[in-house]
Structure formats: C-alpha cells, structure tokens
C-alpha cells in the first residue's frame, strides 16, 4: 500500500493481517480508505500489538462506523458500547461459542464487529471465521434458484446460543435480557458495498424459512449450516494481548473456539451500526 501499511493474507478464503499502523492515533489521510478497501476484499482484518485505552478503542471504532449497544449485556463503566466478552476460570461455556453472525435477530444487524484481546489463556481461545460469499458461490445453480427470494426467521431465543450467554447475563445482564428478539432476513443477502451475494443464515440464530415450519426447514438449513463452514471457506486467528480483529458482519461468520477450560479469557467487543439486509 502507498502508505507503507502491509496487508498479508493469512488464508485462501478470507483474513489478512495488517502491520505498520498505530491505532492509538488518528488514521492519517488516505489510510482509512486503504484499510476499508482491504477489509472489503479480505472480510476480516487483524492488527497486532495495539495497546489501546477504551477511549482510543472507541475513537478507532468511530473512524469506521457508529458504535451500537448490545441488547443483552451492559457495557463497561463509562463505555456502554464496549462489552466484555469473557470466560472465567470456573466456567465451561464461552460467550457466543457457536458459528454465527452477530445479532442476526435484529431488524438492522451490525455492519461490523471488532474484538480487542485484553487477557488470554496460556493456550487455545482462537477464533475461526468463514466466508459467506464463497458459501453462496459454491452452491449449485439449482439450489441457488431454490434459495432465491426465500426469507428466514432469526431468533435470539435459539437454545444453543442462549446457553452461551447465560454466564454473562447473570453477571452483566441488561434489563432486556429476558426479551426474545426476532427478525426476518433474506437467505441470500446482497452486500451493500461490494454488490456480492452472501449466504446469510447461521446455526445460532436462524430458526426456519418464512412460510415454512421448523420441521420442514430443518433438513435444508442443516445442510446450509454444514456447507458454509467447510474448511476451505475458513481461516483461524491465534490471539495475542493487544490483538484486534475487525470483521464484516454482513458476509462473514465467526466462532470462538472453547478449548481452554480452567483459564480466563477477556476481550472487549464493539459492534458498528449496519443496514437492513436486502
């Protein structure tokens, strides 16, 4: 890149590591545009050694979009848009520990999410990401035609994902914690910036197709859930203190790997306002 920033791809499907930028300072002219182009190309960007205060972290987030609050867990003191994504030593279930896009049960899900690593276990705790463009593109023409025009019901009350929130709702829950949130979205979403089509369902939130029963929907949804996380569609990121991941919530799934029982992991998450899926 002209600015001297280095962007290195980490896998064939998605993901790139960015070096040569200090996110504690305002981005120089032109750099934000370069990073945006790289992000749209790679779907998730990773930054190392970013020892940011909450103020600096929020400033970086605001340079990218508009931070929004998470509906189930309150933010840290003084920063309602920054939530702690944590698993404590005695806990066995990790927050959001299932393949998903963030809050697909909202009428307007986030454009993007970012995580900043604060405390990490001595091993494990990686995060996987999957490319939903590739998931859609690799479907047969016949299945693409079947999915065309279909909409799906996404719910915050799906059993597997509610279990991953239980510990945090007990310790950091918001007044809306018991409220069930539901939204209908197209199964195939067109990205508003790239114009590409993405397979916009996920095992954590998608309950059924609109106009179909859950029983009728289950076989096809289960196939799509398996298909979209095929290894060749994914990358995996090993965290270090001060690492940041910034991913496009409109076209990428993520899954935090729960392989560090007995150890503490603490991340700070910010989500950025998006648009209604179309």
- Percentage of the chain lying above the pLDDT 70 cut: 92
**Residues labelled as active-site residues:** 100, 102, 254, 269
Q: What's the CATH superfamily of 6-272?
A: Clavaminate synthase-like (3.60.130.10)
Average pLDDT, the chain: 94
> Which stretches within 173-274 are classed as H helix?
214-227
Looking at the DSSP bridge assignments, the partners of residue 46 are 17, 245
Residue 28 pLDDT grade (very low, low, confident, very high; cuts 50, 70, 90):
confident
Radius of gyration of the chain (CA): 18
Residue 20 Ramachandran class (φ > 0 left, ψ -120 to 50 alpha, else beta) = left
pLDDT at residue 5 above 80?
Answer: yes
pLDDT of residue 72: 86
Cα dist from 135 to 16, 81, 246, 259, 271, whole Å: 19, 31, 20, 26, 24
pLDDT at residue 2 above 60?
Answer: no
Q: pTM of the entire structure?
A: 0.94
pLDDT at residue 270 above 90?
Answer: yes
Domains of the chain by residue range: 6-272
The per-residue pLDDT for range 103-127, each reduced to its tens digit, is: 999 999 999 999 999 999 999 999 9
């Amino acid at each position: 890149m002209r600015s001297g920033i280095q962007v290195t791809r980490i896998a064939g499907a998605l993901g790139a590591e960015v070096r040569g930028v200090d996110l504690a300072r305002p981005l120089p002219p032109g750099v934000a545009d370069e990073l945006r182009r790289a992000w749209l190309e790679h779907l998730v960007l990773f930054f190392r050694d970013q020892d940011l205060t909450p103020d600096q972290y929020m400033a970086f987030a605001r340079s990218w979009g508009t931070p929004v609050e998470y509906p189930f867990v309150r933010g840290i003191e003084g920063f309602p848009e920054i939530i702690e994504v944590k698993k404590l030593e005695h806990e066995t279930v990790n927050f959001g520990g299932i393949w998903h896009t963030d809050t697909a049960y909202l009428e307007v899900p986030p454009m993007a999410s970012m995580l900043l690593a604060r405390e990490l276990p001595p091993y494990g705790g990686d995060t996987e990401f999957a490319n939903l463009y590739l998931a859609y593109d690799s479907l047969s023409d016949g299945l693409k035609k079947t999915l065309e025009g279909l909409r799906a019901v996404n719910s915050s009350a799906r059993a597997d994902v509610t279990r991953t929130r239980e510990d945090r709702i007990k310790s950091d829950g918001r007044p809306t914690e018991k409220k069930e949130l539901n939204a209908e979205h197209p199964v195939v979403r067109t990205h508003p910036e790239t114009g590409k089509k993405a397979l916009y369902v996920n095992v954590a939130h998608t309950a059924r197709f609109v106009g179909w029963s859950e029983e009728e929907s289950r076989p096809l949804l289960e196939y799509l859930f398996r298909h979209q996380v095929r290894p060749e569609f994914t990358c995996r990121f090993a965290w270090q203190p001060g690492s940041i991941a910034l991913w496009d919530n409109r076209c990428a799934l993520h899954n935090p790997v729960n392989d560090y029982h007995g150890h503490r992991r603490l991340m700070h998450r910010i989500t950025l306002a998006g648009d209604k899926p179309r």
